[in-house]
């Protein structure tokens, strides 16, 4: 199964994908994690991405697409995948459609995690305090939520228009939300 997880920063995409990959036995592919690994490795790509991420803005479409294509070409992705953090704007939507068409692996389902803005802020501020992630500073979080509203929200309409969108309430315990997602995928 090929799943795209959609939702605002802090909506729990990464948290849920970590559970779903065990239940569905398919890899979790997070563009945020791929980028953080590149930053940590201090690769040329990571050096370009670091400051952009710390400001809470989107890294260039070309960089993220190249990284994603490389990951999707790895053998484990042939059985399906949970894509988390991509696509994040309309151009990335078109790029994903083209890439998956080329690989003959269209998306089966897009799952949108619905979480109130108040809860998103609470979670991200808490993570910032607990883990010290640079893009969880109050200023970067404000930027990220603005970027989501302006650039990422239209992505939801794209999957809805294709009849592939499922919305899931993203508030509650992690386990409750995972159950809702699995139930929605069975429908
Ligand atoms: P991401 O890594 O995608 O970061 P995120 O949106 O914060 O993650 P997520 O929604 O997965 O939240 P999580 O589960 O961790 O992106 C980071 C940056 O990378 C972007 O700002 C951008 O610069 C760059 N980037 C990534 N993809 C890109 C792309 N396609 N194009 C361009 N740039 C890109 O949950 C958040 C917190 O909530 C955690 O602390 C978690 O413990 C907590 N939580 C989760 N579920 C909970 C629950 N049910 N109850 C209570 N707390 C919960």
Give the domain extent around 127: 2-186
Question: Average pLDDT over the chain, rounded to whole?
Answer: 96
- Per cent of the chain over pLDDT 90 is 98
Give the tens place of pLDDT for each residue, 140-186. 999 999 999 999 999 999 999 999 999 999 999 999 999 999 999 99
Q: Is 136 in the pocket of ligand 1 (CB under 6 A)?
A: no
Q: Is 46 in the pocket of ligand 1 (CB under 6 A)?
A: no
Q: Is 147 in the pocket of ligand 1 (CB under 6 A)?
A: no
Model confidence at 187: pLDDT above 90: no
> Positive or negative CA dihedral for 118, 120, 122, 125?
negative
Q: Is 177 in the pocket of ligand 1 (CB under 6 A)?
A: yes
DSSP string, 129-159: HHH--GGGSHHHHHHHHHHIIIIIHHHHHHH
Q: Report the number of distinct structural domains present in the chain.
A: 1
Give the tens place of pLDDT for each residue, 82-123. 999 999 999 999 999 999 999 999 999 999 999 999 999 999
CATH number at residue 49: 3.40.50.300
pLDDT at 2: 97
Closest residue to atom 21 of ligand 1, CA basis: 56
Å from CA of 107 to ligand 1 middle: 21
* Active-site residue, selected from the candidate residues 21, 109, 133, 164: 133
Strand, coil or helix: 1: coil
Mark whether 2 is an active-site residue.
Answer: no
Contact 177, 169 (CB under 8 A): yes
Mark whether 36 is an active-site residue.
Answer: no
């Amino acid at each position: 199964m090929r799943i795209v997880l959609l939702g605002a920063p802090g909506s729990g995409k990464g948290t849920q994908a970590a559970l779903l990959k065990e239940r569905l036995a398919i890899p979790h592919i997070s563009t945020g994690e791929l980028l953080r690994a590149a930053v940590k490795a201090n690769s040329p790509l990571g050096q370009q991405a670091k400051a952009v991420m710390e400001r809470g803005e989107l890294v260039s479409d070309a960089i993220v697409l190249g990284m994603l294509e490389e990951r999707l070409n790895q053998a484990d992705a042939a059985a399906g995948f949970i894509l988390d953090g991509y696509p994040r704007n309309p151009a990335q939507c078109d790029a994903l459609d083209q890439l998956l068409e080329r690989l003959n692996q269209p998306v089966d389902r897009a799952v949108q995690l619905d979480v109130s803005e108040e809860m998103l802020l609470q979670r991200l501020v808490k993570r910032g305090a607990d883990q010290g992630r640079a893009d969880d500073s109050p200023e970067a979080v404000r930027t990220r939520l603005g970027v989501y509203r302006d650039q990422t929200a239209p992505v939801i309409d794209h999957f809805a228009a294709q009849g592939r969108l499922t919305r899931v309430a993203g508030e509650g315990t992690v386990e409750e939300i995972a159950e809702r997602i699995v139930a929605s995928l069975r429908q």
